[in-house]
Amino acid sequence: MKHHSIKLSIRAVRAALLAALLISLQGACAKNKLAFAYSGRMDVDAVTVSSQTSGVIDSLSIKEGDAVKKGEAIAVINTDRLNAQRRQQAAQLAEFDSRRGAAEAQVQQAEAQVRQATAQLDFSRDSLARTEKVLAQGGETRQGRDQLATQVTVNQAGTAAAESNLRALRANLKLLATQAEGARAGLDLTDVALREAQILSPLDGVVLNKFHYQGELAGVGTPLVELADLSALNVEVYVPLSKLGSVVIGQKASVTANGVSRPFTGTVYWVASESEFTPKTILTQETQTTLVYGVKIRVPNAEGILKIGEPVDVRF
């Protein structure tokens, strides 16, 4: 009986040791899995705001680090030249409109003349036709018939001249309408340039860089400031092909930064479709050189804790 009790005790000890070993191994595996991380640096999609018209910068008072709202005026380009150009274009347009109004009146008058000449021609032709019938019956002289034939010829020439004049006036009216349309288009472009002289922020964000200052000359396309929305940052890491199958768009990732006690939860929004060799500047816990795929994670940063360029570790 005593011998049997000793055997049971040995078995219990072995079972306890095995259970402890399994728990230890599971913990080690979990710890190793948790410890595996991909290194990267926080980045942001910055927007460079450029001048859309040329001129001296009248106002650019924002500073690097300032917060801006979408639609807020961040710079103003001098518009003296544009205002003078607009006055000139407006005067040209008014002149074309005035000339076109006069041309329209001339066209209407010429159309009336054509109608009158056509009516006279029709009447003289009818008269000639009746006279020729009477002449055939001996009731009219040839002299009277010849006079009517001459009148028809005169009316034909008058109608042709009236129609030619009408065509010329219509062509002139069309030309004036085209010129007025061009002047109006030029005026519209100037109005657009005047609106664009006030540079508005395209987003809610922060001024990262300021490239020019008040009083400097800016041309079309001159970069003025660089803005970014820091409420969400991005980090790109490189994942080897052997682990790429476990990374999908929409997947959550844990992002940790030095000096920050809590991790951040990001979302995978891009996975490269082509591989590349492991960049030398990217350090991972896998030391072998291999083909890797870029993976980008967007990380919410509403509190502004994460900074651009800050090194972080990413775990999937």
Domain ranges of the chain: 36-46+229-315, 47-77+198-227, 80-196
Amino acid making up residue 176: L
236 - beta bridge partners? 296
Residuewise pLDDT in 10s, the chain (316 residues): 444 444 444 454 344 433 443 344 344 344 444 446 899 999 999 999 999 988 999 999 899 999 999 999 999 999 999 999 999 999 999 999 999 999 999 999 999 999 999 999 999 888 888 888 877 776 666 777 888 889 989 999 999 999 999 999 999 999 999 999 999 999 999 999 999 999 999 999 999 999 999 999 999 999 999 999 999 999 999 998 888 888 999 999 999 998 888 999 999 999 998 887 655 555 455 544 568 899 999 999 999 999 999 999 999 9
The total number of residues shown for the chain amounts to 316
Burial of 114 (0-12, 13-18, 19+ CB in 10 A): buried
| The architecture CATH gives domain 47-77+198-227 | Beta Barrel (2.40)
- How high is the pLDDT of residue 274? 86
Topology alike, domains 36-46+229-315 and 47-77+198-227:
no
CB atoms within 10 A of CB 123: 13
> How far apart are alpha carbons 148 and 129 in whole angstroms?
9
Residues 131-156 have pLDDT tens digits of 888 777 766 667 778 888 899 899 99
Which token pair is 236?
């790109």
Q: Are 66 and 206 in contact (CB under 8 A)?
A: yes
Q: Is the pTM of this model over 0.75?
A: no
What's the sign of the alpha-carbon dihedral 121, 125, 128, 130? negative
Fold of the CATH domain 36-46+229-315? Elongation Factor Tu (Ef-tu); domain 3 (2.40.30)
What is residue 269's three-state secondary structure? strand
- C-alpha closest to that of 151 among 183, 179, 128, 176: 128
What is residue 241's three-state secondary structure? helix
- How high is the pLDDT of residue 17? 38
- How high is the pLDDT of residue 282? 55
Which token pair is 31?
């710890």
